[in-house]
Amino acid sequence: MNRHLLSAADLSVEDALRVLDTAEEMSRVADAPVRKLPTLRGRTVVNLFFEDSTRTRISFEAAAKRLSADVINFSAKGSSVSKGESLKDTALTLEAMGADAVVIRHSASGAPHRLAHAGWLHGSVINAGDGTHEHPTQALLDSFTMRRHLRNGKGDLAGVRVAIVGDVLHSRVARSNVLLLATLGASVTLVAPPTLLPVGVEKWPCSISYDLDSVITKVDVVMALRVQLERMSDAFFPSAREYSRRFGLDTVRLARLPDGAIVMHPGPMNRGLEISAEAADGLRSVIVEQVANGVSVRMAVLYLLLAGAPLTDIDYKTLGPS
Amino acid sequence: MSGYLLRGIRCLGGEPVDMHLENGVIAEISEPSKKLRVTGAKTVQGDGLIALPGLVDLHTHLREPGREDAETVDSGTRAAALGGYTAVHAMANTDPVADTAGVVEQVWRLGKEAGFCDVFPVGAVTVGLRGERLAELGAMADSAARVRIFSDDGKCVSDPILMRRALEYVKSFGGVIAQHAQEPRLTEGAQMNEGDVSAVLGLRGWPAVAEEAIIARDVLLAEHVGSKLHVCHVSTAGSVEILRWAKSRGIAVTAEVTPHHLLLTDEMARSYNPLYKVNPPLRTARDIDSLRLALAEGVIDAVATDHAPHSIEDKDCEWQAAAFGMLGLQNALSVVQSTMVDTKLLTWADVAARMSTTPARIGQVANHGRPLSAGEPANITLYDPSITRLVSEKELVSKSRNTPYLGMTLPGQVIATFLRGSPTVLAGELIR
């Protein structure tokens, strides 16, 4: 694996499977009486969050702590960043403090890439969501969740049909998912109004549809993306109600899903807009599991990047009481 | 002291000649077999060197007044001289903006004091580049700086009424409006060319149509009011088609292309390195092909650098936070050689036209872009096209470092630049 995780494209199929398989092992820690491994003892993981994201930060924090790493949370608010300190100076500060890994969330696409490659610091950089670019650990946890439900937690996702519905243009989750799902052999259809698909999307390894109803009967996974209401004022769609009618995962569409299909959402949800309460809370929904799986997947990523050793080096005895 | 004797130079790439420069003019040109002798003249061995009329840049940001940390008239004209330029047009987006006779005269005087090349200030079209009301164009035209090109460069004169009035108004003193063609609403927050690469990188796209729509509108306005339009830094294949059409209709439009738009594509953005962040953005290989052909055919009239120095802190950051722009003066001729001459699209005589004669005509600057013949002003660039060199930071004399060519191997080097018969560059080094 690379030293950094900046894009889902960084992962070969072997890398991706290694993360997913490792995450399966890590998930056992959550079920153990002592939810901790000593693996990253003495290592420092910095959560560098320039954008509010309580759920992602907490997930990374839990993952690092379960691996016994020291965790420093550095958020833009209440730090020197809000006083105009540059990304470079922040990076130099973290370098001076000896960060082994920096988990970065930033509103600017490519900020993690700069952090990793501008020569400012030497630790591993993990992209926890950058602008409208990528969110690779979200894609990993989504694939992990799909694999558990559709492939018994083993192997790749060959033949799995996934619809990703909504604001693809602004979605880092969609970009990472398209790349990773293609790597794992799934077939992806992006469903959105043409205004919310980027120019150039036709080159992506997926198909495109403007019509959710024609897609929904032929998928194993439907993933609704968060739609921000302020997009309306930029004329991406006329109204919330029209969006909901054409692209919302409502009760009628839920009923048309094939047997065994699952409903996903990266959160936070706009209930009643892109997803109805019935879809979000129904039996097909795996949305809460996605959150739980996020910790396992992030443990696996931190472990593989920092410990850098194959999984067999884990002392499995520590997984449970010895 | 009796001037300079240039031995064996090839004017516009032609047969070797000896040339004597004295009292600011070309005194004599003769065949080497005639063994031209001039007592007391300093000799420059010019065997194999191409002689071009001193280059003229239509589009330079010298940053003074206001951002002397990034560039000054002095440092910028040094870079110009090393790049083979004897005249540059200094863009108006300084701080304060060059929108009054006072500011343009200040820039003009700073150019005179620096002495490395002639500096012709460009005046702003609108007060403060705000696009609200016309600046005092007449006062700038009548000033000592004798402004003829007006531009809000960096910003587009997007209001069609204001653009129409500006085109009409400058007719009274033969001025030209140089438009930065960028439809503002289509490019809000835009970061790079909109296309396959922006889709993957998640950087806000800058559609080609945002440039093309303004050029289409402006050529029609120029035709309607019978005025002259110059289009800055054309970057798309579609813009070329519109210009071709406008010229075929006889519309008085000229256009420039930058060296970087002839060489670099939006693929460079994959590094997220802000060195490649520029306005207009780097486009695709297809656009590059169109631009090169258009420059060869004369649909695009001139190469202009859009030399845009930025301080380190404005570039050593994340892409979105970085400033737009890249250095251009010192490597322009090498990039043109690489993209246009080595590819057989232009001869050296064509290069002289695109980088000296035509820009001098568009800018209406006397004594530049003249033929290389006896009695003409001795503004001359000697260039060695046979050298291959690795672009490194240490050769940059600009106060800024934001060149996209760092680490690239480029052909050719300016060996000497003469301004009115005096060298500003000799043996590839600045004089004084």
Which residue of chain B is at minimal alpha-carbon distance from A171? B202
- Position B371 in a domain: no
Same domain, B71 and B207: yes
Best of B201, B267, B313 to substitute, by most chain A Cβ atoms within 10 angstroms, is B201
Same domain, A299 and A266: no
- Position B211 in a domain: yes
- Count of positions (residues) in chain A: 322
Question: Residue B247 contacts by C-beta under 8 Å, 6 or more apart in sequence?
Answer: B253, B299
Domain boundary among B363, B385, B405: B363
Q: Does B121 touch chain A (CB under 8 A)?
A: no
Question: Which domain range does residue B394 map to?
Answer: 4-50+377-430
> How far away is chain A from the Cα of B314, in angstroms, using its nearest Cα?
10
> How far away is chain A from the Cα of B79, in angstroms, using its nearest Cα?
27
Cβ separation of A110 and B203 shorter than 8 Å? Answer: yes
Quote the ipTM score.
Answer: 0.90
- Position B25 in a domain: yes
Same domain, A227 and A168: yes
pLDDT, tens only, B340-388 = 999 999 999 999 999 999 999 999 999 999 999 999 999 999 999 999 9
Taking Cα atoms as reference points, which of A27, A64, A22, A23 lies closest to residue A43? Answer: A64
- Position B370 in a domain: no
CATH of the domain at A147: 3.40.50.1370
Residues in B touching A131 (Cβ below 8 Å): 202-203, 320
Quote the pLDDT of residue A321. Answer: 39
Same domain, A16 and A148: no
Question: Which domain range does residue A282 map to?
Answer: 136-289
- Position B369 in a domain: no
- Position A1 in a domain: no
pLDDT, tens only, A124-139 = 999 999 999 999 999 9
Domain count, chain A: 2
Residues in A touching B202 (Cβ below 8 Å): 109-110, 130-134, 172, 175
Quote the pLDDT of residue A140. Answer: 98
Same domain, A13 and A98: yes
Which residue of chain B is at minimal alpha-carbon distance from A106? B318
Same domain, B14 and B162: no
Q: How far apart are CA B47 and CA A92, in angstroms?
A: 52
Cβ separation of A175 and B200 shorter than 8 Å? Answer: yes
Same domain, B351 and B401: no
Count the neighbouring beta carbons within 10 Å of the beta carbon of residue B35.
9
pLDDT, tens only, A208-238 = 999 999 999 999 999 999 998 777 778 899 9
User: What pLDDT band is residue B1 in, cutting at 50, 70 and 90?
Assistant: low
Q: Does B207 touch chain A (CB under 8 A)?
A: yes
pLDDT, tens only, B167-189 = 999 999 999 999 999 999 999 99
Domain count, chain B: 2
HEC profile for chain B? Answer: CCCEEEEEEEECCCCEEEEEEECCEEEEEECHHHCCCCCCCEEEECCCCEEEECEEEEEECCCCCCCCCCCCHHHHHHHHHHCCEEEEEECCCCCCCCCCHHHHHHHHHHHHHHCCCEEEECECCEHHHCCCCECCHHHHHHCCCCCCEECCCCCCCCCHHHHHHHHHHHHHHCCEEEECCCCCHHHCCCCEECCHHHHHHCCCEECHHHHHHHHHHHHHHHHHHCCCEEECCCCCHHHHHHHHHHHHCCCCEEEEECHHHHHCCHHHHHHCCHHHCCCCCCCCHHHHHHHHHHHHHCCCCEECCCECCCCHHHCCCCHHHCCCCECCHHHHHHHHHHHHHCCCCCCHHHHHHHHHHHHHHHHCCCCCCCCCCCCCECCEEEEEEEEEEECCHHHCCCCCCCCCCCCCEEEEEEEEEEECCEEEEECCEECC
> How far away is chain A from the Cα of B120, in angstroms, using its nearest Cα?
37
- Position A176 in a domain: yes
Count of CA atoms in the C-beta half-sphere (13 A) of A206:
29
Which residue of chain B is at minimal alpha-carbon distance from A90? B317
Q: Does B204 touch chain A (CB under 8 A)?
A: yes
- In A1-134, which ranges are E strands? 44-49, 70-75, 101-106, 124-130
Same domain, B11 and B89: no
Asked whether residue B37 carries a pLDDT value surpassing 90, the answer given is: no
Sign, CA torsion B97/B101/B102/B107: positive
pTM, two decimal places: 0.94
What is the arrangement of strands in the sheet containing B176-179, beginning at the earlier edge strand? B149-150, B176-179, B229-231, B253-257, B302-303
pLDDT, tens only, B256-302 = 999 999 999 999 999 999 999 999 999 999 999 999 999 999 999 99
Q: Which residues of B are catalytic?
A: 306
- Position B368 in a domain: no
* Residues 279-318 of chain B whose Cβ lies under 8 A from any Cβ of chain A: 313, 316-318
Same domain, A140 and A85: no
Which residue of chain B is at minimal alpha-carbon distance from A134? B202
* Residues 321-340 of chain B whose Cβ lies under 8 A from any Cβ of chain A: 321
- Position B372 in a domain: no
Cβ separation of B318 and A111 shorter than 8 Å? Answer: yes
Same domain, A171 and A42: no
Same domain, B251 and B277: yes
